[in-house]
């Protein structure tokens, strides 16, 4: 970099950084808008095992578990807390169960060989019955109980 002294009439060779700072600030704003603030993933609920054995022996009336059972060569069978239910009766029964509940949590448990479409259908029926949180039960969770 050269500095000019006096009035020699020569050109200045200094870099003007003001336009570069403007471009930098614009790019910073663009990247701040593009990048999401908080990534939103799938909320998963897992039933927790009881802390002592006395709680395990008492049935929990608040927990609703919808089971999807595999029947070879037939459509899936459904149960709500060990009560057999037809597929057409799932929505009215779940709507009646969750009508007066403040805590709207439902768990879906499927057999190993059941088609995922049946599980997704039960989740959709649960959302239609105004269930806020739907959790999936796996054999590993069930073995811990």
pLDDT in tens, 87-134: 888 999 999 988 888 888 899 988 888 888 888 999 999 998 888 888
Instruction: Give me the residue label for tokens 């039933």.
Output: 47
Helix ranges, 66-145 (H): 90-97, 116-128, 139-143
Q: Confirm if 140 and 46 have CB atoms less than 8 A apart.
A: no
Tell me what the pLDDT averaged over the chain comes to: 79
Compute φ and ψ for 93, nearest 5 degrees: -70, -40
- Angstrom distances, CA of residue 8 to CA of 3, 5, 13, 97, 110: 11, 7, 14, 92, 88
pTM (2 d.p.): 0.56
Of residues 87 and 55, the one with the higher pLDDT is 87
How much is the pLDDT for 24? 94
CATH topology of domain 53-143: Nucleotidyltransferase; domain 5 (3.30.420)
- Of the pLDDT bands very low, low, confident and very high (cuts 50, 70, 90), residue 59 is very low
Exposed/middle/buried for residue 109 (C-beta within 10 Å: 0-12, 13-18, 19+): buried
Look at residue 64 and tell me whether its pLDDT is greater than 60.
yes
């Amino acid at each position: 970099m050269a500095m000019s002294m006096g009035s020699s009439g020569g050109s200045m060779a200094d870099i003007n950084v003001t336009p570069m700072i403007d471009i930098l600030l614009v790019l910073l704003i663009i990247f701040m808008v593009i990048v999401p603030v908080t990534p939103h993933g799938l909320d998963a609920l897992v039933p927790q095992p009881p802390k002592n054995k006395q709680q395990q022996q008492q049935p929990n009336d608040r927990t609703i578990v919808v089971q999807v059972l595999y029947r070879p060569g037939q459509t899936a069978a459904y149960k709500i807390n060990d009560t057999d239910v037809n597929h057409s009766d799932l929505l009215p029964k779940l709507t009646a169960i969750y009508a007066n509940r403040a805590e709207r949590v439902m768990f879906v448990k499927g057999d190993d060989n059941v088609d995922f479409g049946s599980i997704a259908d039960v989740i959709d029926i649960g959302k239609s019955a105004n269930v806020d949180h739907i959790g999936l039960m796996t054999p590993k969770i069930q073995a811990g109980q």
